[in-house]
Amino acid sequence: MAVCPIDTGRYGSKEIREIFSEEGRLRYLLKVEAALAKALGEAGVIPREAAEAVEKTALSDRVKLSRVKEIEARTRHDLVAVVEALAEMCGDHGGYVHWGATSNDIIDTAWALMLRDALKIVEQRLAACIEVLMQLAEKHVNTIMPGRTHGQHASPITLGFKFAVYAAELARDLERLQELKKRLIIGKLSGAVGTMAALGEKAFEVEKKFMEILGLKPAEITTQVVCRDRFAELILWCALTGTSLDRIATEIRNLQRTEILEVAEGFEREQIGSSAMPHKQNPIDCEKISGLAKVLRGFTTPALENIPLWHERDLTNSSSERFAIPLSVIILEEMLKTMERVLGDLRIYPENMARNLELSKGMIFSEVLTMALARGGMSRLEAHRLVRELSLKAIKEDKHLREVAMEDPRISSILPKEEIDEVFEAEKQLSNVPKLVERALTYAMRTLQRTLKDA
């Protein structure tokens, strides 16, 4: 009986859920045990025939999850259960299973393999979102809309500018991922307290072979466990990237308000917005993204608290990690998949943007008018006071700011009519936007290219 919505298939792709499933985790643990046996055999620590038998058995499907669970119910130790189940299947060679290792040599190295595979999927999803944002930025670089601060009209921007801001932000998230993988995707084979005592003089030779087999680098030094700052960095990154997606989703939700309606989520032919109000077309995907971002941020506290373990380790990290690590990655993948769909199906309404630009009756150009007066010789502070005065007058008299400005001799003595007209032409004020968008997209593209190169 499924309880978690991830188990029902509601969130996360089948591919990424399989990695973190019980069966998937067992496969990764057995893969690590197989690599350990092979490395031990090649180093001459255990007989080669025993190493080959253990490796072959671990990589087969002979070790069953049901048997592992039976043993765990008795031993109350999940990794011992895997070791015993594998040893049973190895017959006379079973005594060489897990030779010289401690539980977290296997568990933490398996985490590295799981995360390496899972983050490839996440990385692809993130790159896809960046690419869609770049396309939208280029397409709408000149689609003028109101800029807003504090929920009010500020100065004009373009929709392409907005998308370029988001593309650059997600590119930074991708860049952070490349950096953290260097610290996260590492293996461990250092024994009970990290001193490699169990493998003696062969320790570094075995470790080297073990890591080469798995395609990993060893942690520089560990206690009984890989230090948990590495996993905390991952979970914090998931929360940060999820919050970047939340930011985009929140903006789309706001711009989809009935009274604004400058962009909107796609709405499928058979989709229902409300069980009570047939007309509703709700931004449910963006709301899902914002809701899941809250869950991701919630995992950051246990991730940080897992760093200060007692002495060389205790077990307080284990239970929370079973939730925090897989769920952070799976939820983020779901959010990225959803955001890619939202951006791909986004409905855009330039006519409403043009309409909304006029709502403030020219107030949206107050900064430009202030700077035009300052460039004309008036002090900037005096210009600011004058434009504020005229803005209040325009509001009181329900007039366009341009009309009030034209009538005021303090303005006309500095700015001729044609210059005042130019102040209120949005296109004239956005001449730097294409270069800003190009700069942002160049950065995003270079980040994508570096990611492909490193893949």
Which residues participate in catalysis according to the annotation?
150, 274
Measured distance CA(252)–CA(263) in Å, rounded: 7
Measured distance CA(211)–CA(112) in Å, rounded: 11
Measured distance CA(131)–CA(125) in Å, rounded: 10
